[in-house]
Amino acid sequence: MQGPKFLTAEQLLLTTLVVKLVATAALATMLVRYRRFRHILIFERRAWPDRLTFTLSLGIPLFFGVMARLLLGYDALDLTMEGSFLVGLIAGPYAGATVGAMVGVPPLFNGEWAALPFAIGCGFAGGGLRELCPKEAIWHFSPFIFPSVPRRAWQMVRSLTVDWQVVLLLAPVALELLGQGLGFKWSDHHRLFVLAPSPPWSWRMLIVLFASTLCVATPIKIWNNARIEHRLQEQEKLLLAAKIEALANQINPHFLFNTLTSISSLIRTKPDTARMLITRLSGLLRRLMRSTDHFVTLREELASVDEYLDIEVVRFGPQLRVDKQIAPQTLDVIVPSMLLQPLVENSIKHGLASKVGGGRITIKTLVRDGHTIIEVHDDGLGMTEERLEHALGDGIGLSNVNERLRTIYGAPYQLKLTSVPGQGTCVSVAIPEIALPERVTA
């Protein structure tokens, strides 16, 4: 039988360094999943509660990592230098010194009296570098900088300018060399814990320095990816809001132009009616100008349509009849603003305006399969199949409403048109419940 196999000193060092890197990446990944922590990373100017939260978020796990080394012998979990320097680099010198104190106090009880000043010094070193270095340069520091270090260093020497990526790389290397030097000086008395290669100052020291730098650069890379993702999400929201607003702004002038055309045709023949239309129109425009909401309740949208219909009823007289079949549970559903008015206007303009004897418009809402269904019927002239195919692309009102629905809810959500020549047209909209919770303003 073979006896138990043990790792050599070199294998043990490499294994410890790998575990150390994995622990650093895992801690950074877990922390960035929390919204409050991501919020702290996004803004460079942080209030003291945010700095305290950031300090404790890293300081407490690092404290238990040091305790695991002291009590259980897990050397890979001791991130004293890397953690203190990293916190100082991101949150400032006092945050870094605080974390340094948290991880430097427990080793004092093990006789490692140099651990506390060394850890606090690393925190101040990171904070001091933060004060000197451009903030974006810190976030650009990543593990992938190593291949470009010779080129960057040569350009820095040639141009006599500071390449902050090289400085950020050299800082943890210098602190690790300082720790190795102090640990070697007091190696007989164990005054400072370091992962020292055996034999000391051999080529293995390069691996230790490489691992220490990665323990600083890897969390910054992970956190910067989260910051970039947040910025992209914010840009997508702004782009969506701008697109919705642009489409809505196209609908309002379209409606205004049609109404003013109707008023102009009545000024000479029916001046009193024209005056009444102007009064109703001013009331409707006042409502639209007061509201900056991209989304409103169906109740508010129906009130806006009522003002529009008041104008149309004055124009067409008793020949225009409006019937509403509104399910009570749909009144508080959130819908895109200016959704119904273009649909009703289209029914009047293309379905009823040319019909002899007037007609009826029916607005109906119901709940079906988790969706709020809104339908606008008219008993007008109807459309042929050929005309129906081009209805959503030819006009301004319907095409804009259709594009808004697709932009907000996705491609499956579009206007649905059905029509029978001589009998009328129906346009329906499905509003998903999953998109209802938030009310978005411009």
pLDDT digits 0-9 by tens, 316-369 = 667 778 888 999 998 888 888 778 888 888 888 777 766 766 788 899 999 988
The confidence band for 4, taking pLDDT boundaries of 50, 70 and 90, is very low
Q: What percentage of the chain reaches a pLDDT higher than 70?
A: 85
Task: Provide the token pair at 126.
Answer: 């990171």
What pLDDT sits at residue 1? 40
User: Does residue 247 lie within any of the structural domains?
Assistant: no
Domain stop point among 233, 257, 283:
233
Local structure of residue 7 (DSSP, 8 states): -
Give residue for tokens 């490499």. Answer: 14
**Does residue 406 carry a pLDDT above 50?**
yes
Closest C-alpha to 322, from 278, 379, 257, 279 = 379
pLDDT tens across 220-250, in order?
A: 999 998 888 887 777 666 666 666 565 555 5
User: Does residue 335 lie within any of the structural domains?
Assistant: yes
Domain stop point among 187, 217, 233:
233
Domain shared by 275 and 422, yes or no? yes
What pLDDT sits at residue 339? 82
What pLDDT sits at residue 436? 40
Domain shared by 144 and 21, yes or no? yes
User: Does residue 315 lie within any of the structural domains?
Assistant: yes
Number of independent structural domains in the chain: 2
The confidence band for 395, taking pLDDT boundaries of 50, 70 and 90, is low
Contact, 140 vs 168, CB < 8 A? no
User: Does residue 4 lie within any of the structural domains?
Assistant: no
User: Does residue 243 lie within any of the structural domains?
Assistant: no
Region of 92 on the Ramachandran plot (φ > 0 left; ψ -120 to 50 alpha; else beta): left
Give the domain range for residue 152.
9-233
Domain shared by 128 and 222, yes or no? yes
Domain shared by 295 and 199, yes or no? no
The confidence band for 438, taking pLDDT boundaries of 50, 70 and 90, is very low
Domain shared by 86 and 168, yes or no? yes
Domain shared by 20 and 143, yes or no? yes
Domain shared by 86 and 129, yes or no? yes
Does residue 288 or residue 262 have the better pLDDT? 262
User: Does residue 26 lie within any of the structural domains?
Assistant: yes
**Does residue 416 carry a pLDDT above 80?**
yes
DSSP-based three-state secondary structure for 81 = helix
What pLDDT sits at residue 437? 38
pLDDT tens across 129-173, in order?
A: 999 988 888 888 887 877 888 888 888 888 888 888 888 889 999
Domain shared by 188 and 320, yes or no? no
What pLDDT sits at residue 84? 95
Supply the CATH number for residue 297's domain: 3.30.565.10
**Does residue 440 carry a pLDDT above 70?**
no
Contacts of 68-77 with C-beta under 8 Å, sequence gap 24+, read 69/193, 70/106, 70/107, 70/109, 70/110, 75/16, 75/193, 75/195, 76/15, 76/16, 76/17, 76/19, 76/20, 76/23, 77/19, 77/20, 77/23
**Does residue 428 carry a pLDDT above 80?**
yes
308-322: average pLDDT: 75
Domain shared by 218 and 322, yes or no? no
Domain shared by 204 and 276, yes or no? no
pLDDT tens across 172-185, in order?
A: 999 999 998 888 88
Strand arrangement of the beta sheet that strand 424-432 belongs to: 320-325, 359-368, 371-378, 424-432, 416-420
**Does residue 302 carry a pLDDT above 50?**
yes
Domain shared by 59 and 153, yes or no? yes
**Between the CA of residue 321 and those of 162, 311, 413, what are the distances in Å?**
77, 13, 29
User: Does residue 440 lie within any of the structural domains?
Assistant: no
Domain shared by 155 and 284, yes or no? no
Whole-number average pLDDT of the chain = 82
User: Does residue 163 lie within any of the structural domains?
Assistant: yes
Does residue 125 or residue 274 have the better pLDDT? 125
Contact, 38 vs 32, CB < 8 A? yes
Contact, 308 vs 346, CB < 8 A? no
Domain stop point among 185, 213, 233:
233
DSSP-based three-state secondary structure for 383 = coil
